[in-house]
Amino acid sequence: MNSHLKVLKSEVNTQRLPRDFLTLSDFSSSDIMNLLTEALAIKDMQKKGIPHPFLKGKVLGMIFEKSSTRTRVSFEVGMLQLGGHAIFLSSKDIQLGRGETVADTAKVLSRYVDGIMVRTYGHDQLEEFAENATIPVINGLTDLHHPTQVLADLLTILEHKGELKGLKMCYIGDGNNNMTHSLMEGASKVGMHVSVACPKGYEPNSLITAKATEVANLSGCTITVTHDPFDAIQDADVVVTDVWASMGMEEEAERRLKDFVPYQVNSELCQHAKSDFIFLHCLPAHRGEEVTADILDGPHSVVFDEAENRLHAQKAILKALLGNG
């Protein structure tokens, strides 16, 4: 048996997951551990060449308002390997892009497919879609949350560190972005300490921070937000960053480049992390901006393992939501 599966066996239960996968705050610690256990099992089957058509005949509709490499390919390949099929739906090619309401689109697609993945801008639009759909809805990314990426991040950390509880994760960069929010939510659920370092004016959403901190306190871990990257990264087991200007922020890019210069992840900063730290980045990365090439391509980096794990983590989500429980 996979050694990580042995670690997780005692931490999971068989309770039913929520219908939708919108944010990690909707899921309990056991929910997340169940998904990680499933992801490890499915990954093991794939590596051994064992077919796993758990979703034979199932169809996933995928609505993209934001472009993507990893999200699109991993969901399409994941559905194919699970025995199902995925349909790419650009917002420019469906009636949603010509004025049909979100509610009407959700109601119609619910009668055609077995689940819907949405990658969009406003999280409120995703919530409206889920409220009107009668089938599972998965958040492929919004401006506020990126839960599928963070589930893959937790899977990667577990594989490389052998555990999650008690580890320290340090996020450096833009605090008010989807990765920061989902990292705080997911890490606090599994008992990881989180420190966020960001410039003034770029702090994480206060409501999300408060809720994640409450969960962290119950889990026996901590969440801290500071403007000092050297303080935040001290003794970190995991170091994470993201681009300084996400999609839709092109007009702010020049100002952000100046504001974030002190928050670059480089060798000088990483000397303050633990000697065996691992580095994560959801990609795409801008070498020489948020991270230097020697860190991104160096021995501490696990970014391509992390990218691969999008496939395995999402297959676990798809099986749980579109399967038979």
Looking at residue 14, its pLDDT comes to: 46
111 is a catalytic site residue: no
Residue 41, pLDDT > 90, answer: yes
Residue 35 among known ligand-binding residues: no
Q: Which of the four pLDDT bands, split at 50, 70 and 90, describes residue 10?
A: very low
305 is a catalytic site residue: no
Residues 199-210 have pLDDT tens digits of 999 999 999 999
CA distances from 278 to 23, 48, 95, 106, 111 (A): 25, 26, 44, 40, 44
145 is a catalytic site residue: no
Looking at residue 4, its pLDDT comes to: 58
Residue 3 among known ligand-binding residues: no
Q: Which of the four pLDDT bands, split at 50, 70 and 90, describes residue 134?
A: very high
Mean of per-residue pLDDT scores for the chain:
93
Looking at residue 191, its pLDDT comes to: 98
Looking at residue 245, its pLDDT comes to: 85
Mean pLDDT in residue range 281-303: 98
Catalytic residue among 114, 145, 242, 312: 242
Name the β-bridge partners of 88: 62
270 is a catalytic site residue: no
- The span from the CA of 70 to the CA of 55, in Å, is 21
Q: Which of the four pLDDT bands, split at 50, 70 and 90, describes residue 161?
A: very high
Where is pLDDT greater, at 126 or 98? 126
Which of 202-211, 218-227, 244-253 is predicted least confidently? 244-253
Residue 254, pLDDT > 90, answer: no
The dihedral formed by the CA atoms of 267, 272, 277 and 283, expressed in degrees to the nearest 10: -50
Mean pLDDT in residue range 37-48: 98
Mean pLDDT in residue range 60-66: 95
Residue 28 among known ligand-binding residues: no
146 is a catalytic site residue: yes
- The span from the CA of 103 to the CA of 48, in Å, is 43
Residue 237, pLDDT > 90, answer: yes
Residue 310 among known ligand-binding residues: yes
Give Cβ neighbours of residue 296 (< 8 Å, ≥ 6 apart): 279, 281, 285, 287, 303
119 is a catalytic site residue: yes
Looking at residue 1, its pLDDT comes to: 44
For 28-54, the DSSP string reads: -HHHHHHHHHHHHHHHHHHHTT----T
Q: Which of the four pLDDT bands, split at 50, 70 and 90, describes residue 8?
A: low
pTM of the model: 0.94
Residue 95 among known ligand-binding residues: yes
